[in-house]
């Protein structure tokens, strides 16, 4: 099997733990290479929510949102999908409206134009009409929207169980096998 390349972006929404956990899990796949972009606001939220985040990502190259000359900005860079986790309403709006001013928005725009998998994990509540319309536009343009809505019938024990439910949904969408959760009926 060829190595899969996955782009992961963390933006400045609450719930950056989802992004960190997703990166940690992806790193356990020997045949997956991650390309990580963190927005400036994403770094601010990481500093607030997970102050030791740099230690957790110490062996990982992090691309800046300003790095528009990186491979992910080009349609010629072949990859197997992009995940924005968590995705702020600001980034969601930029992507839904074709604004490609930073690397995250540009890489997402490229996914849509090239017909590659684009998964967004949006975090905001309540949602206003603009948020909802932007999500509809993105869905119609080919993106997959995975709101971080956990279930409770599986009786999560702690925050990690809840986070893993969402990470599992993203892995399922990417076609990556995992044992993060017990599936209903198993
Ligand atoms: C602690 C903190 C939590 C935030 N949580 C959210 C959130 O859950 N959803 C959201 O859309 N914006 C949230 N914001 C606001 C975004 O960070 C802000 O809109 C920013 O411009 C997003 O930029 P980005 O999409 O380039 O990362 C939060 C900001 C801070 C400081």
The strand order across the sheet containing 62-64 reads 62-64, 32-38, 4-10, 82-87, 118-122, 144-145
The atom of ligand 1 lying closest to the CA of 88 is 11
Please tell us whether the domain made up of 4-174 is placed in CATH 3.40.50.1950.
yes
The atom of ligand 1 lying closest to the CA of 48 is 1
> Taking the domains of the chain in order of start, what are their residue ranges?
4-174
pLDDT at 1: 67
- Those residues whose C-beta lies under 8 Å from the C-beta of residue 115, and which sit 6 or more positions away, are 142
pLDDT at 24: 97
Q: What is the pLDDT of residues 8-42, one digit of tens each?
A: 999 999 999 999 999 999 999 999 999 999 999 99
What is the 142 CA–ligand 1 centroid distance (Å)? Answer: 24
Ligand 1 proximal residues by C-beta, below 6 Å: 11-14, 39, 41-42, 44-45, 48, 88-91, 123-124
Mean pLDDT within 153-179: 97
Residue 69 has pLDDT above 80, yes or no: yes
Q: Which of 41, 97, 102 to mutate to test the pocket of ligand 1 (most atoms within 8 A of CB)?
A: 41
Mean pLDDT within 86-92: 98
Long-range Cβ pairs for the range 139-146 (8 Å, 24+): 141/96, 141/112, 142/112, 142/115, 142/118, 143/95, 143/108, 143/111, 143/112, 143/118, 143/119, 144/117, 144/118, 144/119, 144/120, 144/173, 145/119, 145/120, 146/119, 146/120, 146/121, 146/170, 146/173
pTM of the model: 0.98
Mean pLDDT within 77-84: 98
Q: Whose CA is nearest to atom 9 of ligand 1?
A: 13
């Amino acid at each position: 099997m060829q190595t899969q390349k996955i782009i992961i972006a963390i933006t400045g929404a609450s719930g950056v733990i989802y992004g960190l956990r997703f990166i940690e899990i992806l790193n356990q796949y020997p045949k997956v290479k991650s390309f990580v972009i963190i927005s400036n606001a994403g770094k601010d939220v990481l500093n607030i929510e997970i102050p030791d985040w740099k230690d957790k990502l110490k062996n990982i190259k992090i691309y800046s949102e300003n790095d528009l000359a990186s491979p992910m900005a080009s349609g010629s860079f072949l990859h197997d999908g992009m995940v924005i986790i968590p995705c702020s309403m600001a980034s969601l709006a930029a992507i839904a409206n074709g604004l490609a001013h930073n690397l995250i928005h540009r890489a997402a725009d490229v996914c849509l134009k090239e017909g590659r998998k684009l998964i967004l994990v949006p975090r905001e509540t309540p949602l206003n009409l603009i948020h909802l319309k932007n999500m509809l536009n993105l869905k119609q343009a080919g993106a997959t929207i995975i709101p971080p809505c956990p279930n409770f019938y599986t009786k999560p024990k702690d925050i990690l169980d809840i986070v893993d439910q969402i990470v599992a949904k993203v892995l399922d969408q990417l076609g990556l096998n995992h044992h993060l959760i017990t599936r209903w009926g198993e």
